[in-house]
Amino acid sequence: MNADIHETIVAPSTPPGRSALAVVRLSGSEARRILGRLSADCDGDLEARRPRLVTLLDVDEQPLDNALITYFPGPRSYTGEDVIEISCHGSPVVTQRILEGCLARGARLAEPGEFTLRAFLHGKMDLTQAEAVRDLIESQTAFQAQVAREQLEGKLSKKLQPARHELIEIASHLETALEFVEDDVAPETRVQLSKRLATVRDQLCDLEASYEAGRIIHDGLTVVLAGKPNSGKSSVFNRLLESERAIVTDVPGTTRDPLREAIDLRGVPVLLVDTAGIRESAESVERAGIARSLEHVSEADLILFVVDESRRYSDEDEFIWRNVQPKPFLMVRNKIDLPSRLVLPEQVEADCLQMISLSALLGENVDELVEGIVKHGLPEAEKGERASVTNARQKRCLEEARSWLERAGEALAGGMSEEFVVHDLRKGLESLGRITGETTTEDILAGIFSSFCIGK
């Protein structure tokens, strides 16, 4: 990311391929001049935010396309610089030639995320908002899009504001005491400051905890089907997918390799995993499948423990329950279309989050299962308190900040000199500043923006 921020950049903002329209975007001080040289009937005298139809020329000065140009003068533009958006016909050949035309007239091809990087560097948005732009573009479910949108409006930054103010105040208080040596902080003031510090620390803890929901919204909820052979896991899997993805037969041990599919359950992204039926004695291929099933169980966010309503609860079920039980799980009583023989041990009933009776064969009550997955998989969302912390980077910064505050708290309580406390508080503030990008390094920025697509 050694790109020169003073150069004018250009990139297609729409995906490659054929479409009715495509957009090419220019940003930088030379944008208007470049457009003037690119068009036959416009010398760059563009009105702000008023689209205008112009004829674009290729590198040989031959007419190339009629395009609609919109000029956004800086600083009131996405990047904070002069921006020109060219809406042209959506042929890859046309966009390529427009790009070449811009490059020949002095623009440079933008790097991934460079438009947003410039927006950040020009103070148009902070780092959490820049990350939200990426998340919004990458969102695959309505829920992901909604959370990204909230973040784009500065949700996390706003939530951090009071904590930062409070820390600055506490630090200034102690600094004043340092300046005026005779003004030692009285013990009762120390106690009071400790309390205020603890409150801030708790706020940061709450934010950290919201990452659990954030992670699920961002990466998806891993839901694993587990149960003994023939209980109907693959049938349930197919029902949730609404397609005959997995092979279903009446032969126990049908599924060998785990199957994974990404689905959208009421806006929640879910990675659904069908596994081999778990039983103790089996031949080697099946045993390998079972070993994988157990691995998947240990990595799941939520387990659907499938039992056969038409059969008695067996040692096999008990063995699975022991593996499943440390995790949050839903009891899926499948095959309710058959006469019931199943009696679950009290403990199993007590441990599960919810019991759902259904028939995968007939597709009965599958809706209730979907509801259960969404409800228990994403409890934060259910309470209406959505993720404020949406990625691991933000969470790491919060953890760092919290541990500095803990040190500061100990120093304060331990009667250490104000100097140490202030040092730790400043470090904590620095960590918080990294979340929004106020304190940050080139490497961090490069890491974030390189994951963007070209043209954003």
Which residues of the shown chain bind ligand GTP in the complex (CB under 6 A)? 227, 229-235, 248-250, 252-255, 276-277, 334-335, 337-338, 359-361
DSSP letter string over 256-298?
-S-EEEEEEETTEEEEEEE-PPP-SS--HHHHHHHHHHHHHHH
Q: Does 390 bind Mg ion (CB under 5 A)?
A: no
The interface partner of residue 214, options being ligand GTP, Mg ion, none and the CB cut-off 5 to 8 Å by kind, is none
The interface partner of residue 252, options being ligand GTP, Mg ion, none and the CB cut-off 5 to 8 Å by kind, is ligand GTP
Among 8, 234, 359, 431, interactor with Mg ion by CB under 5 A: 234
Query: Looking at beta carbons only, is 147 or 236 nearer to ligand GTP?
Result: 236
Query: CB atoms < 10 A from the CB of 256, how many?
Result: 17
CA dist 192 → 202, 268, 449 (Å) = 16, 44, 42
CA dist 273 → 286, 301, 330 (Å) = 17, 11, 15
Which amino acid is it at 98? I
Query: Looking at beta carbons only, is 121 or 361 nearer to ligand GTP?
Result: 361
CB of 289 to Mg ion, least distance (A): 10
How many residues make contact with Mg ion (CB under 5 A)?
A: 4
Which amino acid is it at 19? S
CB of 377 to ligand GTP, least distance (A): 21
CB of 352 to ligand GTP, least distance (A): 18
Query: Looking at beta carbons only, is 229 or 269 nearer to ligand GTP?
Result: 229
Give the integer Cα–Cα distance in Å for 346 and 287: 30
CB of 13 to Mg ion, least distance (A): 45
CB of 126 to Mg ion, least distance (A): 48
The interface partner of residue 128, options being ligand GTP, Mg ion, none and the CB cut-off 5 to 8 Å by kind, is none
CB of 255 to Mg ion, least distance (A): 3
Query: Looking at beta carbons only, is 87 or 323 nearer to ligand GTP?
Result: 323
Query: Looking at beta carbons only, is 134 or 233 nearer to Mg ion?
Result: 233
Residue 325: which residues within 8 A CB-CB, separation 6 or more? 351
Report the DSSP pairing between strands 9-12 and 83-89: unpaired
CB of 291 to ligand GTP, least distance (A): 14
The interface partner of residue 436, options being Mg ion, ligand GTP, none and the CB cut-off 5 to 8 Å by kind, is none
Q: Residue 109: beta bridge partners?
A: 10
Q: Which of residues 237-256 bind Mg ion (CB under 5 A)?
A: 254-255
- For the chain, the straight-line distance linking the first and the last C-alpha, in angstroms and rounded, comes to 15
CB of 340 to ligand GTP, least distance (A): 12
Report the DSSP pairing between strands 268-274 and 221-227: parallel
The answer to whether the beta carbons of residues 308 and 332 sit under 8 Å apart is: no
The interface partner of residue 360, options being ligand GTP, Mg ion, none and the CB cut-off 5 to 8 Å by kind, is ligand GTP
The answer to whether the beta carbons of residues 149 and 387 sit under 8 Å apart is: no
Closest CA to 230 of 206, 209, 247, 207: 247
Query: Looking at beta carbons only, is 74 or 289 nearer to ligand GTP?
Result: 289
Q: Which residues bind Mg ion (CB under 5 A)?
A: 233-234, 254-255
